[in-house]
Structure 1
Amino acid sequence: MHRYFFHLIERGQFIEDLEGLMLADEESAIEEAKRNARGIVAHEIRDTGTASLDRAIEIVAETGDFRFRVPFDAALSIRS
């Protein structure tokens, strides 16, 4: 198990994840970032009726090494 941190990049702001989450591997970390992004968007739509996809979650390993950037628009698909 490895600790990964999920920092939110939103409107030019860096919101740091200070706790992180223990996960088996990088693939699990990417899936967790996508779930987090979908949850944020769902909450925003429920509360305001709109959501911004111009955000991303940066995944950083417990060593401090940047691993991946998951844009919100890559975490979900919108059908008309």
Structure 2
Amino acid sequence: MTTFVFFADQGHKRRADGRNVAVAQGANVAVARAAAEALIGQPGAFADFAAVDISATVPPFVIEGHFPVGARTQTVWPLLTRGGDRLLGE
């Protein structure tokens, strides 16, 4: 599986809910993008976001803003969004 980071690479692509970066794995970029979109329950939400394969060597990076939020079925990441809700996907 390949791991991709999807992000709003231009200001007009930023989402009002602050969900501007997603990380997901998939056999290819389309599968990973669909997995990221399923996590927030919004198919197509990241369609215009840039995608970077981070499975190979990439420069280190920082994500500014709120902490990561994961699916309710996992125990690694916090479960509540900045608004105090859970993500829609599993």
TM-score range (shorter-chain normalised) is 0.3 to 0.5
Normalised by the size of structure 2, how large is the TM-score? Answer: 0.33
- The structure richer in helix per residue is 1
- The structure richer in strand per residue is 1
Structure with greater contact order relative to length (CA < 8 Å, sep ≥ 6):
1
Normalised by the size of structure 1, how large is the TM-score? Answer: 0.36
